[in-house]
Amino acid sequence: YDRPTEPMFRVKAKKSFKVPKEYVTDRFKNVAVEISNRFGEDDSETVTIDSVPLPDLADILTLGREENFSLFIPKHRNLSAKLINIFLQAENPKHLLSIACYAHDRVNPYLFIYALSVALIHRKDTKSLKIPNQIQTFPDKYFDSQVFSQGKEEMTVVPQGLRRPIEIPRDYTASDLEEEHRVAYWREDLGINLHHWHWHLVYPTDGGEIVTKKDRRGELFYYSHQQIVARYNFERFCNALKRVERLTDWQGPIKEAYFPKLDSLVAKRAYPARVQDMTMQDLDIPGQNIKVDVDDMIRWRDRIYRAIADGFITATNGSKMNLDDVTGIDILGNIMESSELSPNRQLYGNLHGFGHLMLSYIHDPRSHHLEPFGVIGDFTTAMRDPIFYRWHAFVDDVFQQFNGSLPRYTAEQLDYAGVQITDVNIKTPNAPDNEFRTFWQQSDVDMSRGVDFQDPGSVFVRFTHLNHEPFSYNITVNNTGNGVQEGTCRIFLAPATDERGNPWLFNNQRVMFVEMDRFKVTLRQGQNTITRNSTQSSVTIPFERTFRDLDTNRPAEGSEELDIFNFCGCGWPHHLLVPKGTPDGFKAQLFVMISNYADDKVEQDLSGSCNDAESYCGVRGGKYPDKRPMGYPFNRVARQGADTLQRFLTGNMIVQNCRIVHSDRTVRPRS
């Protein structure tokens, strides 16, 4: 994982030989007297590797070592599925190590690290190994490219101990004259982009059982991305921007421009920019076997809309599969994402993925200039670009079309007899009740593992991100039933009004709700007070885990904690749990519901599993831990007569008006 672009071995060659034009390692294969760890005597530890039958990498090597890699490109998906399987099939960890060493110096570094990570996470005998933070392995995908030249200077001239962190300004990709730049701090947040990469690492689209055995993966694709759009919209409101517009005109100019200012250290190229008013065009990228027309996309879209209207889809063998209220959304998710679980990839195509690709090659759609894809073409970097949200607003709208076709929840279905919430408030220390507080925070990340600046040791990058004061929810619940009752407490937050300050209709507000927490409660008879801390959120992972370091706080090798550590890299970054708010207090509505646990419960043993960010990431190796449709109770449109949130409420729900106050102060790094 360290310095992924460099070879692991060095070769002592015989005096006279002819060097064939091959990979470094292969060039010397027959002429070497010795192949040794390239760190040689400087290295404190030597690892011997077993001799094993060599895997057939022929296909996999068709992706050059210095090309960029994208899981949106079908060819790359296939190659990664092959390599993942090679790693999964290794007899034991020692063989895996040998094969990985062999592959490391030949395979494209992005592909190698991705496939090895997926394999390590999914193999029983390696799942307790720790996957290093991707920021450290590939800092080029996260940091302004200027950081690297400054880092080089720091590392080559300044001795360890006297080095200073390289500070990335909060605004470096555009100026305030660009409206969309108001939310750049959020789009370009390291934690958000890490979460997105990690989500797709945990839920690959191709690779056999690691895809097909995942519980409700299509539905989770829908829900986790629906929540991204909802959270983005909330953030936009806080910055006086209106809701993101769906990208529905695929033949007209796109007004959003984006200049990422990232250089790929592997591809040795800048991620291309998109200027204003570019238009999506038919793609023909021979080098990547990509050939798709805008018309193909339109056909896939229309077939999916047609299936929603019909209530069924047509599988490859011609049979009909109903899109019902239990599995329909899951099937649609797999169709949209075009995972291996799509019942008919031929008919419904790969709408979501090719949308990413069309946008990412918009600057060079026929590869005349041999340009690589832009940031929207890579899971790791996609969320930086404003167009990501316009595309995903469209994708989400398809899912909402389907949700709109489902039967409405009746008041009886939503209610929990004998359970009434009588009060809720938010407590932030030193603040009035029902007030969230946000501010800027600086943090440091070591990027030295991903770059070779000769001198080992650390070089830190200092960046500024949003953060909030810890707070708690205090919920008063009356249990008038007979004896103890169990429930699931569901907490959501949404802007109190639309962008013009007008009150919401339920059907518009329901897709704006962002999940804040979900947890089980036990209610004894009579009045109960539930206190829940913000840090316990089922949506987020703690800051320390988002930016976990290889050496500090490291659980013991092979321990249960370490196993949990990897999967738990997936999770919304805790520092972005609360939207930014405004200096004078952004008005929001907190919604709390307690549903009957008997209807929510999923039988499974969760001991030792990673489930502390289960809302968006599920449970490692287990079932999604809530039987209700994801997003419940906001996943369906309002019943007759419940056209506002107030009218939607049953006794087991409550709404609290609250404010999010943002202070422009910046807190210096914790240590």
Point out the residues that are catalytic: 337
Q: Which is nearer to ligand CUO, 165 or 569 (CB)?
A: 569
Q: What angle (nearest 5°) sits at the alpha carbon of residue 33, between those of residues 29 and 34? A: 85
Q: Which is nearer to ligand CUO, 386 or 495 (CB)?
A: 386
Distance CA(372)–CA(357), nearest Å, equals 11
Q: How far is CA 437 from CA 35, 428, 580, 659, 660, in A?
A: 58, 8, 8, 9, 6
Residue closest to ligand CUO, measured at CB: 382
| In the complex, minimum distance from the CB of residue 374 to ligand CUO, in angstroms, rounded to a whole number | 14
Residue 399: partners with Cβ closer than 8 Å, 6 or more residues away: 222, 226, 329, 332, 333, 336
Nearest Cα neighbor of 537 from 559, 512, 519, 524 is 519
| In the complex, minimum distance from the CB of residue 69 to ligand CUO, in angstroms, rounded to a whole number | 15
Q: Which is nearer to ligand CUO, 82 or 384 (CB)?
A: 384
Q: Which two tokens stand for residue 6?
A: 């460099």
| In the complex, minimum distance from the CB of residue 298 to ligand CUO, in angstroms, rounded to a whole number | 19
| In the complex, minimum distance from the CB of residue 643 to ligand CUO, in angstroms, rounded to a whole number | 32
| In the complex, minimum distance from the CB of residue 200 to ligand CUO, in angstroms, rounded to a whole number | 6
Strands (E), 31-177: 32-37, 166-167
Phi, psi of 5 (to 5 degrees): -90, -5
Cβ contact 253:281 at 8 Å: no
Q: Which two tokens stand for residue 213?
A: 């055995």
Q: Which is nearer to ligand CUO, 227 or 488 (CB)?
A: 227
Q: Which is nearer to ligand CUO, 214 or 352 (CB)?
A: 352
Q: Which is nearer to ligand CUO, 223 or 634 (CB)?
A: 223
Distance CA(104)–CA(608), nearest Å, equals 32
Phi, psi of 265 (to 5 degrees): -75, -20
- Kindly report the length of the chain: 671
Distance CA(70)–CA(441), nearest Å, equals 32
Nearest Cα neighbor of 438 from 504, 530, 534, 346 is 534
DSSP codes of every residue in 141-192: GTS-THHHHHHHHHHHHSPTTS--PEEPPS--S--TTSGGGGGHHHHT-HHH
Cβ contact 363:273 at 8 Å: yes
Q: How far is CA 7 from CA 3, 102, 109, in A?
A: 9, 10, 10
Residue whose tokens read 């030949």: 106
| In the complex, minimum distance from the CB of residue 6 to ligand CUO, in angstroms, rounded to a whole number | 30
| In the complex, minimum distance from the CB of residue 78 to ligand CUO, in angstroms, rounded to a whole number | 18
Q: Which is nearer to ligand CUO, 189 or 600 (CB)?
A: 189
| In the complex, minimum distance from the CB of residue 80 to ligand CUO, in angstroms, rounded to a whole number | 16
Cβ contact 385:281 at 8 Å: no
| In the complex, minimum distance from the CB of residue 356 to ligand CUO, in angstroms, rounded to a whole number | 6
Distance CA(591)–CA(657), nearest Å, equals 9
Cβ contact 27:475 at 8 Å: no
**CA contacts within 13 A on the Cβ side of 305:** 11
Q: Which is nearer to ligand CUO, 205 or 656 (CB)?
A: 205
> How many CB atoms lie under 10 A from the CB of residue 150?
16
Q: Which is nearer to ligand CUO, 356 or 659 (CB)?
A: 356
Distance CA(152)–CA(451), nearest Å, equals 9
Strands (E), 293-434: 312-314, 320-322, 419-427
Applying CB under 6 A, the residues found at the interface with ligand CUO are 196, 200, 225, 352, 356, 379, 382, 392
Output DSSP code: residue 540. Answer: E
- Cis bond leading into 132, ω under 30°? no
Output DSSP code: residue 88. Answer: H
Q: Which is nearer to ligand CUO, 141 or 225 (CB)?
A: 225
Q: Which is nearer to ligand CUO, 69 or 379 (CB)?
A: 379
Cβ contact 224:614 at 8 Å: no
485-495 vs 540-541, strand pairing mode: unpaired
| In the complex, minimum distance from the CB of residue 355 to ligand CUO, in angstroms, rounded to a whole number | 8
| In the complex, minimum distance from the CB of residue 235 to ligand CUO, in angstroms, rounded to a whole number | 17
Distance CA(543)–CA(468), nearest Å, equals 12
